[in-house]
């Protein structure tokens, strides 16, 4: 539990531990990313992604933005050990090559593994399993259609530790401020706090890519497993991982405005961010 | 049917403010310069909203020097809407401080002069260029869109909202280019319907006549009793503050900063040439 290890936010060092760590231990950040360049489930459903219909192009730019954001975090958080594990679900050869080129720009450890399974839910489950098995501290589950701003990972880590310390429990971070949360029937009571560069709001709804501590993943594994084995439905998160917030006492925080954009439907455009500006940075 | 219009009632004082004059304000500049910059930012915001609805600016000045009044009038003279400059008379004996009387007069203008919307504003609020239009548009849309009884706007996303233990649940929504949160704390500065000023006049009167810096009567005991944050406080008027602020209180606490025009409030402050 966080109470056992006081975190010095400014110096980003562990001050005192009771679990064998020493003062100058590095904190570990494991990002587990799922990629798939070919199928576009949204197009299959008759929905068109905003910005670009070519899933391979979306994956290329989104993964580049993630690596760039992690590279930025490497520079500003020297006491964090960054790792990126990619699970690819049968992307085409060209996309795999592009992916490898992007990973080659990483200033941290990366690993690419090709899945034997097919489909989004087995990919999610494999990512969840890997995070639970190999995570040491922070684990961020990422997907290939989230476009990040450069400071995203840094701000997420800062807020994660800051909020967790104040809450006395590990929090959960979802970096995308979904406009759906602001339609009238979804406007629920929330707390707002200040982060380093923006406000953060309490949220009760995440999607499968989120960030938390590995302890949460292990303790609440039944919910993650249920998510990873759930059919693709509109209520799959509510039936599974959203119970972290509705039933199990964890706090979900989302930045306002977003640190990552979900490149899906028109209705998911963040009204406060010029997605084209972000998109064009990663051509 | 009511003709929607806005009366902006600004009170100025070049000599001293309500707040402690010995403490260093975040602007780092002297009070006259601070006021002139803030007033100019207000005039710019008014001009940018010109034509949206009918507006009039009242400036109630509390015994500023002749030289300062001339400078203020020069700034206000650039206003594109109808305006009136009123030099307040000496306070009556039943007011302990001059600022109490100017506060009373400001509220009284809202009660007696305004028939529609009124924006009470103090001279140490630095406004975004779209401040007035943002508040008008938000107010009108929220009134038409919701079944809320009354709403009001406090233009400053105050640091008080985020200082422990003041982090309270609120409702958060989006409108225009900002988020808007409910809150239950305002200063004298507020955007409100004059019907509510008349309806809750006792609270305004108490704030104006009894408030003293560091005293026992303050916003929580008076004005803040009107507010409803849609969650845990059930006053008669739902109060909203924009995120980011449309007007920043240039006082002693560094304002909340995020990625907006007013993110670097100092740059905005320095850019205003007098």
- Is the pLDDT at A30 greater than 60? The verdict is yes
Confidence category of residue B253, pLDDT binned at 50, 70, 90 = low
Q: How far is CA B211 from CA A188, B189, B215, in A?
A: 35, 14, 7
Q: Which residue has the higher pLDDT, B214 or A15?
A: B214
Please answer whether residues B203 and B103 qualify as being in contact, where contact means their C-beta atoms are separated by less than 8 angstroms. no
Q: What is the ipTM of this complex?
A: 0.83
The owner of tokens 């560094």 is: B254
Question: What does the pLDDT read at residue A169?
Answer: 92
User: Cβ of A257 and B259 within 8 Å?
Assistant: yes
- Number of Cα atoms under 13 Å in the Cβ half of residue A117: 14
Confidence category of residue A11, pLDDT binned at 50, 70, 90 = very low
B127-136 pLDDT tens trace: 999 999 999 9
Cis status of the peptide bond prior to A139, with omega within 30 of 0:
no
| A45-49, A112-116, B115-119: segment of lowest average pLDDT | A45-49
Q: How far is CA B249 from CA A266, B63, B156, B160, B267, in A?
A: 37, 22, 7, 12, 15
- The strand pairing partners of A41, in sequence order, are none
A176-216 pLDDT tens trace: 999 999 988 899 999 999 887 889 999 999 999 999 999 99
Q: Which residue in chain A is spatially nearest to B168 when comparing CA positions?
A: A191
Q: What is the DSSP letter of A142?
A: E
Cα B204 → chain centroid = 14
Q: CA A25, A26, A30: angle at the middle one, nearest 5?
A: 140
Q: Which residue has the higher pLDDT, A267 or A260?
A: A260
From the candidates B172, B231, B260, which should be mutated to test the interface with A, based on the most A CB atoms within 10 A?
B172
Question: What does the pLDDT read at residue B50?
Answer: 95
Please answer whether residues A176 and A261 qualify as being in contact, where contact means their C-beta atoms are separated by less than 8 angstroms. yes
Q: What does DSSP say about strands B237-243 and B150-153: parallel, antiparallel, or unpaired?
A: parallel
How are the residues of chain A apportioned to helix, strand and coil, as percentages rounded to the nearest 5?
Answer: 40, 20, 40
B4-13 pLDDT tens trace: 999 999 999 9
Question: What does the pLDDT read at residue B143?
Answer: 84
User: Cβ of A191 and B170 within 8 Å?
Assistant: yes
Cα B122 → chain centroid = 6
- Is the pLDDT at B254 greater than 90? The verdict is no
Cis status of the peptide bond prior to A158, with omega within 30 of 0:
no
Confidence category of residue B217, pLDDT binned at 50, 70, 90 = confident
Is the torsion defined by CA of A101, A106, A111, A112 positive or negative?
negative
Of A182, A197, A202, the CB nearest to B259: A197
- Sequence-separated (6 or more) residues with CB below 8 Å from residue B13: B35, B61, B62, B63, B64, B98, B99, B102, B123
Using an 8 Å CB-CB cutoff, list chain B residues near A187. 171-173
Distance, CA of B53 to CA of B55 (rounded, Å): 6
Chain B from 84 to 123: CB within 8 A of any A CB:
none
Exposure string over B137-149, b if 16+ CB within 10 A, otherwise e: bbbeebeeeeeee
Residue B181 structure tokens: 């949160």
Distance, CA of A48 to CA of B267 (rounded, Å): 41
Q: Which residue in chain A is spatially nearest to B263 when comparing CA positions?
A: A197
Please give the backbone phi and psi of residue B228, each rounded to the nearest 5 degrees, phi first.
Answer: -125, 130
Confidence category of residue A9, pLDDT binned at 50, 70, 90 = very low
Question: What does the pLDDT read at residue A64?
Answer: 97
Q: What's the rounded mean pLDDT across residues A37-63?
A: 81
What ranges make up the beta strands (E) of chain B?
Answer: 5-12, 54-61, 82-87, 117-122, 125-127, 150-153, 172-175, 178-182, 190-193, 227-228, 237-243, 247-249
Q: What's the rounded mean pLDDT across residues A106-114?
A: 98
- The strand pairing partners of A279, in sequence order, are none
Distance, CA of B83 to CA of B47 (rounded, Å): 12
Question: What does the pLDDT read at residue A14?
Answer: 35
Of A201, A271, A272, the CB nearest to B172: A201
- Is the pLDDT at A41 greater than 90? The verdict is no
Confidence category of residue A49, pLDDT binned at 50, 70, 90 = confident
Radius of gyration in angstroms for the set of CA atoms belonging to chain B, rounded to a whole number: 17
Q: Which residue has the higher pLDDT, B1 or B85?
A: B85
Q: Distance between the two ends of chain A, CA-based, in angstroms? A: 42
- Is the pLDDT at B256 greater than 70? The verdict is no
Question: What does the pLDDT read at residue B250?
Answer: 87
- Sequence-separated (6 or more) residues with CB below 8 Å from residue A241: A206, A208, A210, A223, A224, A227
Question: What does the pLDDT read at residue A135?
Answer: 96
- Is the pLDDT at A16 greater than 50? The verdict is no
Q: Which residue has the higher pLDDT, B146 or B182?
A: B182
Confidence category of residue B218, pLDDT binned at 50, 70, 90 = confident
The owner of tokens 């707390």 is: A191
- Is the pLDDT at A223 greater than 90? The verdict is yes
B11-49 pLDDT tens trace: 999 886 555 556 677 776 788 899 999 999 999 999 999
Angle between helices B31-48 and B66-76 (to 10 degrees): 20
Q: What's the rounded mean pLDDT across residues B181-196?
A: 95
Confidence category of residue B265, pLDDT binned at 50, 70, 90 = low
**pTM, whole model, 2 decimals?**
0.86
- The strand pairing partners of A173, in sequence order, are A211, A253
Please answer whether residues B125 and B38 qualify as being in contact, where contact means their C-beta atoms are separated by less than 8 angstroms. yes
- Sequence-separated (6 or more) residues with CB below 8 Å from residue B273: none
Helix (H) / strand (E) element for B56: namely strand B54-61
Of A192, A193, A272, the CB nearest to B177: A272
Quick check: helix, strand or coil at residue A30? strand
| A28-32, A90-94, B267-271: segment of lowest average pLDDT | B267-271
Helix (H) / strand (E) element for A84: namely strand A80-88
Number of residues in chain A: 283
Question: What does the pLDDT read at residue A239?
Answer: 97
Distance, CA of B30 to CA of B181 (rounded, Å): 33
User: Cβ of B230 and A189 within 8 Å?
Assistant: yes
Question: What does the pLDDT read at residue B130?
Answer: 96
Mean of all residue pLDDT scores within chain B = 89
Distance, CA of B226 to CA of B237 (rounded, Å): 6
Q: Which residue has the higher pLDDT, B29 or A6?
A: B29
How many CB atoms lie under 10 A from the CB of residue A51?
A: 19
A136-169 pLDDT tens trace: 999 999 999 999 999 999 999 999 998 998 888 9
Q: Is B142 on the interface with A (CB under 8 A)?
A: no
- Is the pLDDT at A23 greater than 60? The verdict is no
Mean of all residue pLDDT scores within chain A = 88
Question: What does the pLDDT read at residue B106?
Answer: 98
Distance, CA of A31 to CA of A159 (rounded, Å): 16
Confidence category of residue A13, pLDDT binned at 50, 70, 90 = very low
Question: What does the pLDDT read at residue B255?
Answer: 59
Distance, CA of A117 to CA of A66 (rounded, Å): 24
Angle between helices B131-145 and B31-48 (to 10 degrees): 50
Cα A266 → chain centroid = 21
User: Cβ of A189 and B169 within 8 Å?
Assistant: yes
CB pairs under 8 A between A and B: 52
Q: What does DSSP say about strands A6-8 and A13-16: parallel, antiparallel, or unpaired?
A: antiparallel
- Sequence-separated (6 or more) residues with CB below 8 Å from residue A93: none
Question: What does the pLDDT read at residue B258?
Answer: 46
Question: What does the pLDDT read at residue A19?
Answer: 42
Question: What does the pLDDT read at residue B259?
Answer: 46
Q: Which residue has the higher pLDDT, B265 or A73?
A: A73
């Amino acid at each position: 539990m966080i109470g056992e290890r006081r975190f010095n936010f400014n110096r980003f060092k562990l001050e005192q531990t009771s679990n064998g760590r020493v003062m100058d231990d590095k904190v570990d950040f494991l990002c587990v990313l799922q990629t798939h360049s070919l199928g576009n489930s949204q197009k299959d459903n008759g929905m068109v992604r905003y910005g670009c219909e070519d899933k391979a192009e979306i994956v290329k730019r989104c993964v580049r933005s993630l690596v760039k954001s992690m590279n930025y975090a490497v520079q500003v958080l020297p006491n964090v050990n960054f790792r990126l594990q990619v699970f690819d679900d049968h992307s085409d050869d060209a996309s795999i090559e592009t992916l490898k080129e992007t990973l080659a720009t990483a200033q941290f450890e990366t690993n690419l593994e090709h899945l034997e399974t097919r489909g989004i839910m087995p990919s999610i489950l494999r990512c969840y399993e890997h995070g639970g098995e190999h995570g040491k501290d922070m684990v961020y589950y990422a997907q290939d259609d989230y476009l990040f701003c450069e400071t995203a990972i840094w701000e997420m880590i800062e807020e994660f530790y800051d909020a967790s310390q104040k809450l006395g429990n590990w929090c959960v971070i979802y970096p995308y401020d979904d406009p759906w949360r602001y339609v009238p029937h979804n406007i629920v009571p929330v707390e707002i706090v200040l982060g380093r560069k923006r406000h953060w709001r309490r949220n009760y709804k995440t999607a499968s890519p989120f960030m938390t501590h590995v302890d949460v993943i292990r303790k609440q594994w039944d919910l993650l497993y249920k998510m990873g084995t759930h059919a693709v439905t509109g209520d799959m998160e509510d039936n599974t991982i959203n119970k972290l917030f509705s039933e199990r006492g964890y706090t979900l925080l989302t930045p306002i405005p977003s640190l990552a954009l979900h490149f899906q439907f028109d209705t998911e455009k963040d009204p406060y961010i010029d997605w084209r500006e972000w998109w064009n940075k990663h051509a | 049917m009511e003709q929607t219009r806005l009366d902006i009632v600004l009170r100025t004082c070049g000599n001293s403010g309500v707040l402690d004059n010995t403490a260093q304000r975040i602007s780092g500049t002297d009070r006259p310069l601070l006021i002139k910059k803030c007033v100019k930012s207000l005039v710019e915001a008014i001009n940018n909203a010109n034509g949206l609805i009918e507006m009039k600016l009242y400036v109630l000045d509390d015994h500023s020097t002749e030289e300062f009044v001339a400078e203020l009038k020069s700034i206000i003279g650039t206003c594109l809407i109808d305006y009136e400059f009123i030099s307040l008379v000496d306070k009556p004996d039943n007011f302990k401080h001059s600022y109490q009387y100017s506060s009373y007069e400001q509220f009284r203008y809202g009660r007696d002069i305004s028939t529609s919307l009124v924006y009470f504003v103090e001279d140490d609020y630095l406004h975004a260029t779209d401040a007035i239009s943002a508040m008008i548009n938000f107010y009108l849309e929220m009134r038409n869109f919701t079944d809320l009884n009354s709403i009001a706007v406090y233009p400053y996303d105050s640091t008080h909202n985020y200082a422990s233990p003041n982090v309270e649940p609120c409702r958060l929504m989006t409108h225009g280019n900002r988020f808007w949160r409910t809150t239950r704390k305002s200063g004298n500065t507020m955007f409100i319907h004059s019907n509510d000023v008349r309806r809750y006049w006792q609270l305004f009167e108490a704030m104006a006549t009894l408030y003293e810096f560091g005293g026992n009567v303050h916003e929580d005991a008076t004005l803040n009793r009107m507010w409803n944050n849609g969650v845990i406080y059930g006053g008669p008027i739902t109060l909203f503050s924009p995120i980011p602020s449309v007007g920043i209180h240039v006082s002693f606490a560094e304002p909340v900063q995020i990625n907006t025009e007013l993110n670097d409030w100092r740059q905005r402050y320095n850019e205003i040439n007098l």
